[in-house]
Structure 1
Amino acid sequence: MQNLEPNYKAIIFDLGSVLIDWNPRYLYRKIFTTEAEMEHFLEEICTSDWNEEQDAGRSLLDATELLIQQHPQYEAQIRAYYGRWKEMMVGEIADSVALLKELKESGKYRLYALTNWSNETFPLALMEYKFLQWFDGIVVSGKEKQRKPSPGFFNLLLDRYQESADHALFIDDNIRNVNAARNMGIESIQFVNATQLKNDLLHKKILN
């Protein structure tokens, strides 16, 4: 049975939409003339399911060519997905990064990132965001060829860094991933915004 007041030792962060403001719409609003055209493209062509295959290790080249074969009329827009990928990242989520900094400076917790991210594009984030150096470890799905919500991906981080699910806290914006972690006995917070996250961390006495 889980303790009423867990002794937290490790805090595991998702990156995209928690610490890094990434959204393909930032790019495609520059490409399509209407929101409807953009949403159709992202829902039917460059879909989340397609993108997640790159997060799981499929090469960007193979992914791009596959879609172009299926939708040749969208070739230019498909090539823009990775050709102009950096335009999907508009910066850090400053208030969230401030919380990460506070946790780091407290010295009380080991900090990790568990991210669904292509191994080919992640080096761009490493160069762009210095706060990624604050983590004690980062596990990238594209490198490991598995991704959230797979239990094996969570266990990979726990085993690699010799952490216990009972003493870990996981933070992710995607409820699918949050539920997967909870099912493994990892207490989890679904991220909505930095104010909500700070309140949750205060409530758990992780922040003072």
Structure 2
Amino acid sequence: MKTINTIIFDLGGVLIDWNPEYVFIDVFNGDRDKMHWFLKHVCTPDWNENQDAGYTLEQATKDRITLFPEYENEIGAFYGRWPEMLGGAIEGSVSILNRLRESKHYKIIALTNWSAETFPIALKKFDFLQWFEGIVVSGEEKTRKPFDDIYKLTLQRYNINPEQALFIDDNLRNIEAAQALGIRSIHFKSPEQLLVALKHFNIHLQ
């Protein structure tokens, strides 16, 4: 088995805490049942992921309002108040990222499902995003995880041998897609679990 020389990080859920509930618990005046129904049936994860693949926020909002006109204001809040969904950095993971960077043993890349229209907000907010040798943003590429083409694009763009790469993501679906392409992977659950998993792969931390 070849030695790992590249580590590919997901961002949301691994390094950045993003959650629409931060907005919609306020929108629905603390009614968690209404909030959960809305996020399951109206502004759904699948709908949001379509924007991660390059669909415009404006058109996506219009489409949803056409389907659910009674929720026009609430739907408008999804991208209208999007910055409030950024809860902050996941500090334990950022610390691990920094230790990997300082070790100078690895090429550090990010591969994220993220709208090209909202990603600049994250770039401005989180200084550690400057630490990566490169960031592949799904919305800029008009495709997203778990589709093969975004993994292959990442490998090609940054001259990565899949047999020497390690991918970290909190979404099992994305992990399985990477593994199918021969990329060893860690299904992220917490910074503490990540630290243990990295040692399992003989990753050197500064």
Does the alignment pair 1:168 with 2:165? Answer: yes
Aligned equivalent of 1:178, options 167, 175, 179:
175
How many angstroms apart in 2 are the aligned matches of 1:37 and 1:120? 28
Q: Counterpart amino acid of 2:187? A: Q
Identity %: 51
Q: Deviations over 1:129-185 (max 9, x none)?
A: 000000000000000000000111000000001111000000000000000000000
Does the alignment pair 1:51 with 2:40? Answer: no
Q: Counterpart amino acid of 2:20? A: P
Offset, 1:207: 3.0
Stretches of structure 1 that go unaligned for 5 or more consecutive residues are none
Q: Partner of 2:114: helix, strand, or coil?
A: coil
Q: Partner of 2:168: helix, strand, or coil?
A: strand
Q: Which residue of 2 aligns with 1:37?
A: 34
Does the alignment pair 1:187 with 2:184? Answer: yes
Q: Partner of 1:149: helix, strand, or coil?
A: coil
Structure 1 moving runs of 4+ over 2 Å:
none
Q: Which residue of 1 aligns with 2:88?
A: 91
* Cα RMSD, aligned residues only: 0.7
How many angstroms apart in 2 are the aligned matches of 1:143 and 1:185? 25
How many angstroms apart in 2 are the aligned matches of 1:178 and 1:207? 22
Does the alignment pair 1:201 with 2:176? Answer: no
Q: Which residue of 2 aligns with 1:13?
A: 9
Offset, 1:58: 0.3
How many angstroms apart in 2 are the aligned matches of 1:206 and 1:27? 38
Give the count of matched residue pairs: 204
TM-score (norm 2): 0.98
Offset, 1:96: 0.3
How many angstroms apart in 1 are the aligned matches of 2:169 and 2:204? 18
How many angstroms apart in 2 are the aligned matches of 1:207 and 1:175? 25
How many angstroms apart in 2 are the aligned matches of 1:204 and 1:9? 11
- Aligned 8 A contact 2:5 2:165 in 1: yes
- Aligned 8 A contact 2:105 2:204 in 1: no
